Amino acid sequence: MNKKLNTNEKLRNIAIIAHVDHGKTTLVDFMFKQSGMFRANQELEDRVMDSMDLERERGITISAKNCSVFWKGVKVNILDTPGHADFGGEVERALMMVDGAILLVDASEGPLPQTRFVLKKALESNKKIIVVINKIDRKDARPKEVLNEIYDLFIDLDATEKQIEFPVLYAIGREGIAQLTPEDRGTDLQPLFDEILKEIPPPIYDVDEPFQMLVADLDYSDYIGRLAIGKVAHGSAKTNDNLVCINEENQTIPLKISKLQAYEGLSLKEVEVAEAGDIIVIAGIENVHIGDTICNQLQPKAMKRVAVDEPTISMVFGINTSPFSGKEGKYVQSAKIRERLYKETLRNVALKVEDGESKDSFIVKGRGEFQMAILVETLRRDGFELSIGRPHVIYKHKDGKKLEPIEHLFVDCGEAFIGIVTDKLSQRKGRMINLVNHSTGRVRIEFSIPSRGLIGYRNEFLTDTKGTGILNSYLQGYEEYRGDYPLRLTGSLVSDRQGQTTGYALFNLEPRGVLFVTPGEDVYEGMIVGEHNKDNDLNVNACRPKKLSNMRASSKDEGIILTPVTPLTLERAIEFINDDEIVEVTPKNIRLRKAELSAMARYRGDRAF
């Protein structure tokens, strides 16, 4: 049977892919402004696509978002994707909906690990690539060398000859300028828009095929329920049409479109008809998952499912069982936490939630500790109180061998720190595979290292390199288990009673290690108040007051001056804890504690072994 293929010339679907902080979201801002999506006098926030509070605070994109602009009568659907490997699930499902991608690379830093990670996915799915070298106004910009590095990257990723012949543009994203050569002086983004219309192919569809849509993303509305998002592959659909959803088991579930929406600018607009090639949002079905096919009920035909990479780490989430439980949060019950975690899996395809060993615990699986930290921070801001354990990598077993996830690690640091960085990473079973020295005072080193070796290392790395080092990695695959190594070389200072900390007690504890608490904080038995200098835990009294008497010493009383305490962030807390320790998370505080609070019970447990 001959297919009657046609193209929808009024549409283009593109993704913008890049490493963290290479300027994706800023570029999209100017694409909005220059395409006429906003009034000339309309006040705009910077980075309009980063709508989450966490995204604005951290200056990164966490979830992929859809929007659209119009240029010369053509609707361009744009997907702004995260640049961090932990949010790779967002990238994969975004690439399911597009026909091409803009690869944005910093003119100074060049292609970094996440650039490689996302580009590999785009090339595998045979997407047309436009390369944009951004930030060419930087003093340390080196566009020609970076372009050569991009060619090397394409060759390294086994790109075809056709894929390597990509168009190149040069941009200053924060000024909204794109140009064809580094020497030109552009005035706007017209060259970029024109290149998108010229190079990115329009969506192709079969005229004779009935309606088909592969579900690439899910959302949830409290008013209209589950929302299925995807690109219409063939045919068209209208509101109130009766369709079917074909799931993973090839079962057909009937559905009726209650609402049909398409992207216009940053918002969704209700439409009567969904045409082939457009990215649409369908409401009217509850039991739908990523990869399902929504199609015509008279001619149900499933499309090829797209698999998302498996999670590599797991963490145990549970209720808050500390003496301060229920004092600061709105939701503390396990049923509420369970409901919220399962609701998160509807929106986030890279997360998996399973019930734990006890009825009050849950195992959450994801791509990395940073993704987990973002999830916990989101729950915390929603008013939840919970406790979380140390991240553990997910092992695989094949032919009787234990396999573990291996990361390809890129280290950028000063020459003076090569020794300490190499030493620390080799202790964590890392193997150096490349070292490049450009004689600029900085070196770039590549390591192959188990994922578990990076848990808890990032803060240590920043300390070792005096805050000047850059650490990036991507998942390389699975290899045979490389052996054990000590998780932490220091112990914990553990409070032996409940009360309020005093400056006098903390002053006398400072020689024992680094403190996490300040005077006047409430503590309880089993709460970790600091990091011990030695490798064992030490029970301490952080609430001891200074004894007052009517006797005066001949010398003047010494003034107590405490070392300033670095505030405990969620990432730092997750990296610090050992297997027998827990992070207590509430909307107001982050505390560290022992899983077993009683000092006597911990002592008996140690004696038993």
What is the pLDDT, as a whole number, of residue 84?
A: 53
pTM for the predicted model, two decimal places: 0.72
CA distances from 569 to 228, 279, 347, 500, 559 (A): 35, 38, 25, 21, 30
> Quick one: what percent of the chain has pLDDT higher than 90?
8
Q: Is the pLDDT of residue 49 over 50?
A: no
Write down the number of H helices and E strands in the chain: 15, 37
Is the pLDDT at 45 greater than 50? The verdict is no
Q: Which CATH architecture has domain 313-393?
A: 2-Layer Sandwich (3.30)
Indicate the pLDDT class of residue 58, thresholds 50, 70 and 90. very low
Q: Find the mean pLDDT for residues 220-236.
A: 82
* Region of residue 23 (left: phi > 0; alpha: psi -120 to 50; beta: else): left
- What's the pLDDT at 609? 43
Task: Summarize pLDDT for 271-280 with one digit per residue, the tens.
Answer: 888 888 888 8
- Return the higher-pLDDT residue of 387 and 6: 387
Residues of the chain with CATH 3.30.70.870: 313-393
Decide which of 553 and 151 is more confident.
151
The lowest-confidence range among 85-94, 116-125, 384-393 is 85-94
For residue 350, pLDDT beyond 80: no
* CATH for the stretch 491-547+557-608: 2.40.50.250
Mean pLDDT of all residues in 309-336: 86
Structure tokens at 337: 């936490």
Query: What is the mean predicted confidence (pLDDT) over 14-37?
Result: 73
Model pLDDT, residue 44: 46
Give the pLDDT band (50/70/90) at residue 83. low
* Residues 12-32, mean pLDDT to the nearest whole number: 76
| CATH of range 6-203; options 3.40.50.300, 3.40.50.1820, 3.30.56.10, 1.10.274.10 | 3.40.50.300
- CATH 2.40.50.250 residue ranges of the chain are 491-547+557-608
Query: With respect to CATH, is domain 400-480 assigned 3.30.70.20?
Result: no
Calpha distance 382→385 (Å, rounded): 9
Q: pLDDT, tens digit, for every residue of 556-596?
A: 456 678 888 888 888 888 888 888 889 999 988 889 999 88
Q: Which one has a higher pLDDT value, 540 or 81?
A: 540
Within the chain, all domains assigned CATH 3.40.50.300 are found at 6-203
State the pLDDT confidence band at 494, using cuts at 50, 70 and 90: very high
Mean pLDDT within 228-234? 87
pLDDT at residue 141, rounded to an integer: 83
Residues 218-235, mean pLDDT to the nearest whole number: 81
| Residue 554 pLDDT greater than 80, yes or no | no
Mean pLDDT of 322-332: 86
Which residues of the chain does CATH 3.30.70.240 include?
400-480
Please give the mean pLDDT across all residues of the chain.
Answer: 81
**How far is Cα 297 from Cα 277, in angstroms, rounded to an integer?**
20
If one compares 65 and 608, the residue with the highest pLDDT of the two is 65
> What is the SS3 assignment for 366?
strand
Mean pLDDT across 177-188: 82
Q: Supply the DSSP symbol for 442.
A: E
pLDDT tier, 62 (very low <50, low <70, confident <90, very high otherwise): very low
Of 2.60.120.10, 2.40.30.10, 1.10.3810.10, 1.10.10.60, which CATH number belongs to 205-296?
A: 2.40.30.10
DSSP 182-226: SSS---SSHHHHHHHHHHSPPPEEETTS--EEEEEEEEEETTTEE
